[in-house]
Amino acid sequence: QAAWCVLPSRVLLVLTSQKGIQMYESDGSIMVYWHALDVAEHLPVHADASSGLSAGTSSGLVLVFDIPPKGTNITVSEVLEQHHDAITDIAAELGQAPDGAGDLVTADDAGTLCIWSTGEEFTLLSKIPAFGCCCASVKLWNGIVAAGYGNGQIRLYEAATGLLRAEVNAHARWIYALDLAPQTGKLLSGAEDSFVHIWKLSRNPDTDNVEIEHCHAECVTDTQVCGARFCDPEGNSFAVTGYDLSEIYCYGRA
């Protein structure tokens, strides 16, 4: 996996591979850090201004890195040991977290989700137990955790309490990708069943219930969708990739 990690003071190119985690200056010129790992599989990486840079391992550890504004003095500042299975995804709060809600969520192969508050130190706020299904993708917005599972379900949880607020029988196959448009709360889901769906998340101000409604379905004929991303922060356009597909398909509102 490769990711641009945009931090307040610098941009790093982070590559995860069989050798472990490697970090480069944004022009790829110098390798500034290398954390070797024994078993190498898919390693999710996440970075943002508030939570810094974190990476998940296949043994379930979440490594949090301390990145100085310049130079190569990068160290592992924390090792979070709450998961027992390979980390599948890490996501940070994309909107405004209500009081008490966490700002980072980590998901694993078994389907367990952990919600953290970041800051000086990472603190575990709540742990959402697995229900027997792998969680491959997760997003956090305005205190709502959106999780996509291998059995095709999307579930919404309250980040502050870990309570289940919505359950959607969204897809007929494994959900590979979730993306969220922070300005509107639109959620994009892509799965192996060839479908991409757009949903709208919201909070009912009277009941304080989390709501989710279906906006649009797109069938990418004969394609198992592997990646799906909004192309703008309002969610008016999105791009899709699939297995055996050498093109990226872009969709926009007419």
Partner 1 sequence: MSARTLPLLFLNLGGEMLYILDQRLRAQSIPGEKARKDEWTDVDRKRVMNDIITTMFNKKFMEELFKPQELYSKKALRTVYDRLAHASIMRLNQASMDKLYDLMTMAFKYQVLLCPRPKDILLVTFNHLDAIKDFIRDSPGILNQVDETFRQLIETYSCLSAGEFQLIRQTLLIFFQDMHIRVSIFLKDKVQNSNGRFVLPISGPVPWGTEVPGLIRIFNHNGDEVKRTEFTTDGNYVTPQREGSFDLYGDRVLKLGTNMYSVSRPVETHMSGSSKNMASHAKENIVPNPLAKEELNFLARLLGGLEIKEPGGGETGFRLNLFTTDEEEEHAALTRPEELSYKVINIEATQEPGRRAELSRILGELEVADPRPASSGKGED
Give residue 46's Cα distance to chain centre.
Answer: 8
Residue 209: CB minimum distance to partner 1, A: 6
What is the spatial order of strands in the sheet that 225-230 belongs to?
225-230, 237-242, 249-252
Identify which of residues 25 and 193 has a Cβ nearer to partner 1 in the complex.
Answer: 193
Residue 22: CB minimum distance to partner 1, A: 18
Identify which of residues 103 and 109 has a Cβ nearer to partner 1 in the complex.
Answer: 109
Q: How far apart are CA 50 and CA 93, in angstroms?
A: 10
For the chain, the residue count is 254
Residue 118: CB minimum distance to partner 1, A: 25
Which helix (H) or strand (E) segment holds residue 207: the answer is none
Q: How far apart are CA 44 and CA 52, in angstroms?
A: 14
Binding site for partner 1 (CB under 8 A): 41-42, 85-86, 88, 109-110, 132-134, 136, 150-153, 158, 161, 163-174, 193-195, 197, 207-214, 217, 219, 221-224, 243-244, 246
Identify which of residues 14 and 110 has a Cβ nearer to partner 1 in the complex.
Answer: 110
Residue 44: CB minimum distance to partner 1, A: 13
Which helix (H) or strand (E) segment holds residue 38: the answer is none
Neighbours of 19 (CB within 10 A): 12
Identify which of residues 78 and 211 has a Cβ nearer to partner 1 in the complex.
Answer: 211
